[in-house]
Chains A and B, each alone.
Chain A
Amino acid sequence: MSAPCENMKNTLTDFLLGTLDQQQSDVLTAHITSCASCADYLKALENQKANLNRLSQTIDAEMPARIDRALKALNRSAIEQKSDTVSIWRTIMKSRITKLATAAAIILVAMVLIYSINGTVDITTPAFAIDDVINAMDNAEWMHMKFETKLENVEDRNLKQAFQGQPEIWQALHPSRHIIILGNGRIEFREVEAGKKSIYDPNINTITVTLEQSSGETSYPNMGKMLLTQIAELEKAGAAVERTDIVYEGKPAASVSIDHDLNGGRLEMSLVVDPHTHLPLKMKMRQTFSDGEIVTLAGACEYPSSGPADIYEAGAPRDAKIEIIDKRPDAEFLEAIKPFNVARDGLPSTGISISFSDAGKGSGGASILYADKPKKRMERRSGPQSKPATEDFAQLLMWAQGEAAESVTIDLYDGEYLHHAQRDYEGKWSVREKKYWRTYYLAGLFDAGWLRLPDGKVVANDYATENNLVCIEISSKAEYRQGKFFQPAERILYYLDPAHDYMVVRREQFKHRIPPYNNPVDPNTLDFDVETTPSEPYEIVNVVEFGRTHTGHEYPKKTEETGTKWRNYGAGWRLEPYTKTEHLSISLDTELPDPIFDANTLIPENAETRAPGEKTEMAKARDEAIAVIDSLPEWPEPEEIVNQYWKARKAKAYEKMAILWPGSSLWNEGPLKEPVEYLFGKANPAVGIENTIIVPYATKSYYKERGTYNLTMWLTNKESKKGRYYIYSGN
């Protein structure tokens, strides 16, 4: 084939690509009728295009098979999504608990050091491995340690008290008994399997014995197992481990020590191990915290054949008063609940539930709960504040996990510990220190529809009798913390139908929020509680029915709750009706997503995590604004502050707004709604809240129509050195 005309080559390809206009096409057509080379070239190009189309069709035809292979690869793969490794170690070491002479701290020291002996120790002492040491400790009848303690630069009063003198620990594992004798005379004696905890408080010369239903298992924190994981992290972080042979009390011994920079501080530990018995003989830990506090613990270990049989043998005086708190369910309760448990046996107990609550006025929230009851694990995520688009379960699931959330909290219960992570409005994650939480899973699973068993009593009432139901009542007294109302007295009634796996939960709260919280019946008592009040419940919080069919489907999908709430819009507290809607959807027996129940997934990869103690951007901005307020020669009265704020908002004067409402600059610079005119009422001190003033206000039209204010701005002067008020909350 001869070559096409050079000046027509691109025109031929353009023709093929369809980019020639009519005139250019006509010229080309005229040319190829008289030029065989160009005609051949065009024919070749058209063939080539046809081949390309065939290839395209072949690729498309094979596409489903290729996609299928990719999907199979995805399913086969055990890939885990990457996440920032949460340093549980860091979390632990931040904890006050580790500074206390508790079993946790001591075992922690032991385990860190034992772990570091992994492998052989030295040629002159018999070689041993970590398992040997763990086994030796496990087999010892008792372990007893007495500590010398030293605190430097520590202000915390409780910590100081706990470290007075020589704290002592006794521990036996079979059965599990843990005794801690603190320097201030406080003694804790725990018998885990028996569900008995005795605490002697020397201040009131009283022993409080708490009896709980035994779970039938040793649920004391398995520090060893937990720490092995954490210590691996420490090693990865590059802790220098030094192993040497020493002579301890005239005998050869192995010494292992770690000296490591930790979270801006320093951790120094050493452990002496008997090379024959493999038991730790002595351990020392000195930790310097980033805030300058230094805690030193050092003690020798003994392994006696017997230990204190009760709290008296541990040192509590025989004349101490005894208070017994019996939380065990009585025989009648256990008997009544038996058929229900039998009926529930074998039902699916792994599931995902999402609940969404909408309490109106933009308030509400969602939580998604993954539960794995047999493994006692559950994870709850909550966060999104906006409404879901649908009630469809699959879509709700995605929505609840999605980015719509302004702030997200994740609670993960791993069977022993509760982990908590939170993403704030700046998108930063923080992890709270994990807590040992023996019964948390019960509360969590209750949310998913399972029954909470402890502390209940079987009661008879008309509804139960009429419907042949078992009624269990669980009640709790009101709680006050530091003189402030914290939790109202509450009664929860469970109506169970063993035959149909049916449950109604009626929750009543005996609210009495108006200070000074006195019982209206008996003014000398603080609030009233369920047991003593003669009145009807102040508020029935909600009544929810749970049912589960034989297929495991749970209902209802939607519940509506109405009630009344105390609200204060500046003109005093008043009761207001409210409606709350909750969408509940449960999927049982489903496959849970892979990363669930892994504490390391609490923080997504790449998320910035605030350093311990570091203030949020919002807090920093607030501090700066308050400094500005204090530096000004004059500062307006509260009503004028609010007035100026709304004027600044109308004028989009963000800098001014950021001063009047410190910290608001970070979230105020969004699009503003159409400005409206407001009228402001007289500022009133907030009842029961110190240093706080409320300025009522309303839009002009609202006030004109009703003559009242429906909005409030809250001002405080708590952080101003000059006592100047600034806005800290409002609507």
Chain B
Amino acid sequence: MDGLSDEKLVSASRAGNKGAYAVLIRRHYRHVLLVCLGVLGNIHDAEDIAQDALLKGFTDIRKLRRSSKFGPWLTKIARNLCINHLRRKKRATEIYAQTQSAPESPATDTVPLQRAIAKLPEDTRMPVVMYFLGKKPVKGIAEEMSISPSGVYTKLRKGLHLLHDMLSEHGDTI
């Protein structure tokens, strides 16, 4: 089943075939996770929302009219869920103030970097995550973000400078 096209797998998933959808999950999970990370900046939240997006994708798969566009469709679901998540989080923060901090990753040498990525502005974070963590080509990122490749490079430059500044304050870079 692994060798089948997205279209065929989507068709089978429409009929309720979880096995076929599992193949789609394996195929698209990494990208969805990175998109969520790009929007949310927190790997735990990203994983939760990616999982929600994948389940929602299965529930709603009959809404997908062009099965060849499964990847972009799923990405869109993930983005929307991320945005909802941020809104909810913002509301919760407004109501309860920030009495509790979010659970953090176990202390590893990449933790300061993860924190710094989380603090990047979203339009900068997305290309940084896609390029450096997702190893996506600039052209692909440009298409996904609907901006020009030179726009992506500009954001990557900005991202690198900002990360450097944040990590320098933290004393981690040098």
Task: Check B15 against A593 for contact (C-beta < 8 Å).
Answer: yes
Task: Check B25 against A71 for contact (C-beta < 8 Å).
Answer: yes
Chain A positions 83 through 103: 1 when the CB is less than 8 Å from some CB of chain B, otherwise 0? 100000000000000000000
**In the complex, A596 Cα to B55 Cα: how many Å?**
19
Within 8 A of B (CB), among A557-610: 593-596, 601, 604-606
Q: Is A468 an interface residue (CB 8 A)?
A: no
Task: Check A45 against B160 for contact (C-beta < 8 Å).
Answer: yes
The stretch of A58-66, A302-310, A458-466 that contacts the partner chain: A58-66
Task: Check A74 against B58 for contact (C-beta < 8 Å).
Answer: yes
Least CB distance, A62 to chain B, in whole angstroms? 9
A48 touching B30 in the complex, CB below 8 Å, given contacts A74-B55, A395-B8: no
A contact face: mostly helix, strand, loop, or mixed: helix
**In the complex, A54 Cα to B157 Cα: how many Å?**
19
Task: Check B47 against A402 for contact (C-beta < 8 Å).
Answer: no
Q: Which among A43, A75, A80, A398 is the interface contact of B11 at CB below 8 angstroms?
A: A398
Task: Check A81 against B61 for contact (C-beta < 8 Å).
Answer: yes
Q: Is B132 an interface residue (CB 8 A)?
A: yes
Q: Is B142 an interface residue (CB 8 A)?
A: no
**In the complex, A574 Cα to B164 Cα: how many Å?**
86
The stretch of B16-24, B82-90, B95-103, B118-126 that contacts the partner chain: B16-24
A82 touching B132 in the complex, CB below 8 Å, given contacts A17-B153, A397-B12, A398-B11: no
Least CB distance, A401 to chain B, in whole angstroms? 4
Q: Is A240 an interface residue (CB 8 A)?
A: no
Q: Is A69 an interface residue (CB 8 A)?
A: yes
Q: Is B79 an interface residue (CB 8 A)?
A: no
Least CB distance, A9 to chain B, in whole angstroms? 7
Q: Is B94 an interface residue (CB 8 A)?
A: no
| Residue in chain A with minimal CB distance to B110 | A55
Within 8 A of B (CB), among A36-53: 40-41, 43-45, 47-49, 51-53
Q: Is A124 an interface residue (CB 8 A)?
A: no
Task: Check A59 against B133 for contact (C-beta < 8 Å).
Answer: yes
Q: Interface extent on A, as a size class?
A: 35 or more
Task: Check B59 against A80 for contact (C-beta < 8 Å).
Answer: yes
| Residue in chain A with minimal CB distance to B17 | A593
Task: Check B21 against A74 for contact (C-beta < 8 Å).
Answer: yes
Least CB distance, B28 to chain A, in whole angstroms? 10
Chain A positions 674 through 694: 1 when the CB is less than 8 Å from some CB of chain B, otherwise 0? 000000000000000000000
**In the complex, A49 Cα to B133 Cα: how many Å?**
10
A82 touching B59 in the complex, CB below 8 Å, given contacts A70-B54, A398-B9, A401-B15: yes
Task: Check B11 against A70 for contact (C-beta < 8 Å).
Answer: no
Q: Is A624 an interface residue (CB 8 A)?
A: no
| Residue in chain A with minimal CB distance to B32 | A70
Chain A positions 386 through 419: 1 when the CB is less than 8 Å from some CB of chain B, otherwise 0? 0000000011011101110000000000000000
Task: Check B59 against A79 for contact (C-beta < 8 Å).
Answer: yes
**In the complex, A74 Cα to B57 Cα: how many Å?**
11
Within 8 A of B (CB), among A1-27: 1, 9-10, 13-14, 16-17, 19
Q: Which residues does chain B contribute within 8 Å of A247, judged by CB atoms?
A: none
Q: Which among A19, A44, A83, A604 is the interface contact of B164 at CB below 8 angstroms?
A: A44
Q: Is A204 an interface residue (CB 8 A)?
A: no
Chain B positions 1 through 45: 1 when the CB is less than 8 Å from some CB of chain A, otherwise 0? 100100111011011111011100110011001100100000100
Q: Which residues does chain B contribute within 8 Å of A593, judged by CB atoms?
A: 15-18
| Residue in chain A with minimal CB distance to B29 | A67
Q: Which residues does chain B contribute within 8 Å of A708, judged by CB atoms?
A: none
| Residue in chain B with minimal CB distance to A17 | B156
Q: Which residues does chain B contribute within 8 Å of A54, judged by CB atoms?
A: 109-110
Q: Which residues does chain B contribute within 8 Å of A123, judged by CB atoms?
A: none
Q: Is B114 an interface residue (CB 8 A)?
A: yes
Least CB distance, A41 to chain B, in whole angstroms? 7
A48 touching B25 in the complex, CB below 8 Å, given contacts A58-B108, A81-B59, A398-B8: no
Least CB distance, B110 to chain A, in whole angstroms? 4
**In the complex, A139 Cα to B4 Cα: how many Å?**
58
Q: Which residues does chain B contribute within 8 Å of A55, judged by CB atoms?
A: 110, 113-114, 132-133
Q: Which residues does chain A contribute within 8 Å of B62, judged by CB atoms?
A: 81-83, 604-606
**In the complex, A729 Cα to B98 Cα: how many Å?**
73
Least CB distance, B144 to chain A, in whole angstroms? 18
Task: Check A399 against B43 for contact (C-beta < 8 Å).
Answer: no
Least CB distance, A275 to chain B, in whole angstroms? 45
Least CB distance, A594 to chain B, in whole angstroms? 4
Least CB distance, A334 to chain B, in whole angstroms? 39
A17 touching B26 in the complex, CB below 8 Å, given contacts A66-B33, A399-B8: no
The residues of B with any CB-CB pair to A shorter than 8 Å are 1, 4, 7-9, 11-12, 14-18, 20-22, 25-26, 29-30, 33-34, 37, 43, 47, 50-51, 54-55, 58-63, 65, 67, 108-110, 113-114, 128, 132-135, 153, 156-157, 160-161, 163-164, 167-168, 173-174
Closest 6 CB pairs of A and B: A593-B16, A402-B11, A52-B132, A594-B16, A605-B62, A398-B12
